[in-house]
Structures are given as structure tokens and as C-alpha cells.
Structure 1
Amino acid sequence: MMKILVIEDEVLLRANTVQILSFEDFHTIEAENGLLGVQLAQEQLPDLILCDVMMPELDGYGVLVALRQNPLTSAIPFIFTTAKASYADLHQGMELGADDFLSKPFSADELLAAISTQLKKVVDLPDRGK
């Protein structure tokens, strides 16, 4: 079972995303802020991370930078979910190493398609010590 970390400070959006993923038989881990998200990513080594950009404690860009600097988490596919969809925001995330962006609000189909695309890449990655 693939493990997905959902880092999102909006309770209802996080719950909805987790519910969609559960229906698709993904094991989900939840974090309500960036600091907790980084901690859980390092402890749980998920197969993919969905992360909001604008959050308290540590924003999504900070989460991505922290995870890309750690050899254990640097190759985990990372998808930003954001209401900030300007070209500058997308460009900043891609420069930091994000694999994809989903603009809020996103549909279940959009979410699952983005995850599927990234997880297909994971299949060919070497084992990360799980």
C-alpha cells in the first residue's frame, strides 16, 4: 500500500483529501503545519507528499527545502497544493524541486491523476530503506 503524507492547515480540505485517498486504498499520514510535516516525512518516509504552500509554522517552500536537503527524503515526489497559482509562485516551487502543482480547488480526478503520474516515477526508484 502506497503511503501519502498530506500537509495542509485547512482542516476540511485536509480531511477531504485524506478521504479521497483512503477510498483509493492509499495509506495517509496527516500534518496540520509544515514543521510537523517535515518531522513526519523524515520519520515515516512516505511514497509521495502533498503540501500546501501557505501555512503557519513553516510554509510549503520551507518544507520542500528541508526535505530536499535530507538524503532520506530528497527523492520523495512532492506536489504543491495552492491557491497561489501565479507564474512566479509556480516557478519558485519548481526551482526548489517540486514535482507538480495542483491549484485549489482541485477535483478528486485531478488529485488522483497528479498522484498517479508521480507514483509511476517512484516505481523505478531504488529502495529508500523501507
Structure 2
Amino acid sequence: MTKVLVIEDEDLIRESILHLLNTRGFSAIGAENGRVGLQLVKEIIPDLILCDVRMPELDGYEVLRALRQDPTTATIPFILLTAEANQNVIYQGQLLGANGYLIKPFTMNQLLEAIAAHLRE
């Protein structure tokens, strides 16, 4: 079963994504912030990570930077979730090694397509 970690500080968004993924056959686990997300990554070693950019404590960029520096987690596909369609946000993630982006609000089909595409790579 494919393990997906969802790091998102907005409860409603996180729970909606988790529900969708779990009903579609994924093993989806949620983290309410970047600090908790980093702890869970090391425990479960997910197949893919969905991570919000703007969060308290550790933002998505800091989570991505930490994961890419650790050989155990460096190659896990990482999709940033952001409400900002600003090119600087996307560029910053690309520099750090993000595999993709989803601009909020996104449809559940867009989410599933992005996950499928990055799991195939």
C-alpha cells in the first residue's frame, strides 16, 4: 500500500485530503505542522509527501530542505501545496528540489493526478 504523508496546518484541508486518499486505497497520514511532519517522515518513510508552504514552526521550504539533506529521505517525491500562484514561491521550491506544486484550491482529480504522476517517475 502506498504511504502518503500530508503536512498541512489547516485541519479541514488536511482531513479532506486524508479522507480522499484513504478511500482511494492509499495509507495516508497527516501532520499538523512541519516539525511533526519531519518526525513522521523518519518513522514511516512515506512513498510521497504533500506539504503546505506556509505553516507555523517549520514552513514547507524548511521541511523540504531538511529532507533533501538526509540520504534516507532525499529522494522521496515532494509536492508543495500553496495558495500563492506567485512564481517566486514556485521557483524557491524548485531550487530546494520540490518535485511538483498544487495551487490551492485544487480539485481532488488534480490531486490524484499529481500523486500518480510523481509515483510513476
TM-score by length of 2: 0.98
CA distance in 1, matches of 2:90, 2:24: 28
SS at match of 2:57: coil
Q: How big is the shift at 1:20?
A: 0.9
CA distance in 2, matches of 1:55, 1:120: 28
Residue by residue over 1:4-36, the C-alpha shift from the partner in whole angstroms, topping out at 9 and shown as x without a partner, is 000000000000000110121000111000011
Deviation at 1:90, TM superposition (A): 0.3
Aligned equivalents of 1:47, 1:85: Cα separation in 2: 26
1:87 CA displacement: 0.6
* Structure 2 partner of 1:79: 79
In the TM superposition, residue 68 of structure 1 has moved relative to its aligned partner by 0.4
Structure-1-length-normalised TM-score: 0.92
Report the counterpart of residue 61 of structure 2 in structure 1.
61
Deviation at 1:91, TM superposition (A): 0.5
Q: Paired residue for 2:113?
A: 113
RMSD: 0.5
Deviations 1:28-64 (A, max 9, x none): 1110000110111111100000000000110000000
Q: Distance in 2 between matches of 1:107 and 1:17?
A: 10
Return the letter of the residue paired with 1:62: E
Q: Give the aligned partner of residue 50 of structure 1.
A: 50
Q: How far has the Cα of 1:84 moved from its partner?
A: 1.6
What is the CA–CA distance in structure 1 between the aligned matches of 2:23 and 2:44, rounded to whole Å?
21
Letter in 2 for 1:63: V
Whole-angstrom CA distance in 2 between matches of 1:30 and 1:84:
22
Separation in 1, partners of 2:80, 2:120 = 18
The percentage of aligned residue pairs carrying the same residue is 54
Query: Counterpart of 2:120 in 1: which secondary structure?
Result: helix
Aligned residues: 121
- 1:85 deviates by 1.7
Q: Which amino acid aligns with 1:33?
A: N
